[in-house]
Chain A
């Protein structure tokens, strides 16, 4: 079962893709919703907003307790900021061994799309919205996709992080990959 964290942000876009792929899924707003979830997508949105809501709705501890063990995680953009071990923000679950810088390309005028080179995924479309950058990665982190020689999609065990938004495209391959991670 894939859970989509539905506190704020682009969660409906993920639900739509999971629907299309026929994967069992549900929206997660409370601790109770996490029961039975094997993989949690933390969507793009505003990291400060989602970070505060994670605390207020008492979800942070439960996610921390299970992440990387029986709970696979995929953080996208704001979601990546929220799972990074090192980040210039007060709100992080510190699950993925990367150093992330927020809004690293600049404000909205610098948001962009570009095709991405990758060993894992051939010709992936990258949609970057006020995106963060992964400045450095720990030794257990595998870089799956780069943009201009910088990592934009990384994996550590069953934890996945991306600075771009596959849910804003028609391409479902990263969702399929995360589903495999969560199922294994």
Chain B
């Protein structure tokens, strides 16, 4: 009998597969984590400030206090994720030591390295990373990410950038499907990844790992829009706890992701949710977080 193997890519990507069709919610306290779990979240993202506050407060945004993360891990039984700065492999070592279930190497925090992302193959804990296009997605997977999310524009409550990034990935995969072997090799050079990764993507007709949407989802309709565009699930950051009635909105977004193709059901769950978070027009923002970590 073969012995037990931990932290293989199959096991790392496997957890992401279990999260599919679900909603991962940003929470800043154990109480919020409980609310998220009760509303049907399939995982929570533990962080100190939600993206809209990071945007408002400015300054350097870093990994959260381990004490807060541990409190959230204790409060819920669903998987707990936490964010590290792009390239900050020591923050990642700390989160791995805490035993979080997934690490998000995130552009929402202030990057720690101009050039390099974390070598995620060196870790036992799985990573999720953001992307705006196929090249970014495949570079992150090549670095060891076991799950991808399109970046969108975090903290804006504006879905437009999420839609753009989902569609860009989809369109680039459609183009890839029509390329011959020589052109696939050229694309691999351009993307700076091995051509085996492009060949696999071409064969599958989709990213080789689970792909969620993130950045700007504020309503059940936003979540269902991303699902209809073909993502496997959604992250909701500021959209829940910056709204008037977080419990009700969180549950409505969970139901919208399950029933994303059922307009009648979507109408039902969208009713009477109270005010959504205040959104920001793209022209009004000073820093585009999605341009970090390419």
Contacts and interface: CB of A to CB of B under 8 A. Distances in A.
Given A12-B20, A29-B258, A113-B11, A108 B77 contact: no
A146 to B, nearest CB: 11
Given A46-B19, A46-B42, A109 B258 contact: no
B125 interface: yes
A47 to B, nearest CB: 8
Interface in B246-260: 251, 254-255, 257-259
Contact of B18 (A7, A29, A44, A103): A44
Given A53-B258, A108-B101, A130-B79, A48 B14 contact: no
Contacts of A78: 18
B33 to A, nearest CB: 12
Given A56-B255, A113-B11, A45 B1 contact: no
Nearest to A11: B21
Contacts of A114: 1-5
B18 A9 contact: yes
B20 A9 contact: yes
A102 interface: yes
B270 interface: no
Contact of B14 (A12, A103, A168): A168
Nearest to B76: A48
B35 to A, nearest CB: 13
Most B Cβ at <10 Å: residue of A103, A108, A113: A108
Contacts of A168: 10, 14, 17
Contact of A129 (B1, B5, B11, B124): B11
A46 B22 contact: yes
A23 interface: no
Contact of B40 (A9, A52, A106): A52
B10 A127 contact: yes
B195 interface: no
Contacts, number: 126
A102 B76 CA distance: 12
Interface in A36-85: 44-46, 48-49, 52-53, 56-57, 77-78
Interface string B58-102: 000000000000000100011100000000000000001001111
B36 to A, nearest CB: 10
Contacts of B112: none
Given A109-B7, A129-B18, A168-B17, A46 B43 contact: yes
A45 B18 contact: yes
B41 interface: yes
Contact of A111 (B11, B19, B41, B100): B11
Interface residues of B, number: 43
A108 B125 contact: yes
Contact of A6 (B10, B21, B251): B21
A112 interface: yes
A165 interface: yes
B3 A8 contact: no
Interface in A86-143: 89, 102-103, 106-115, 117, 127, 129-130
A13 B19 CA distance: 12
B15 A8 contact: no
21 contacts: A7-B21, A8-B21, A8-B42, A9-B20, A45-B18, A45-B19, A46-B79, A49-B40, A49-B254, A53-B40, A53-B254, A77-B18, A107-B100, A109-B96, A111-B6, A111-B11, A112-B5, A113-B10, A129-B14, A130-B15, A168-B17
Interface of B: 1-8, 10-11, 14-15, 17-22, 37-38, 40-43, 73, 77-79, 96, 99-102, 124-126, 251, 254-255, 257-259, 262
Top 6 nearest A-B pairs (CB, nearest first) are A108-B101, A46-B42, A8-B21, A115-B2, A114-B4, A111-B11
Given A6-B21, A11-B21, A29-B262, 11 more contacts: A8-B258, A9-B22, A45-B42, A48-B78, A49-B41, A49-B42, A52-B254, A53-B40, A108-B79, A110-B6, A112-B4
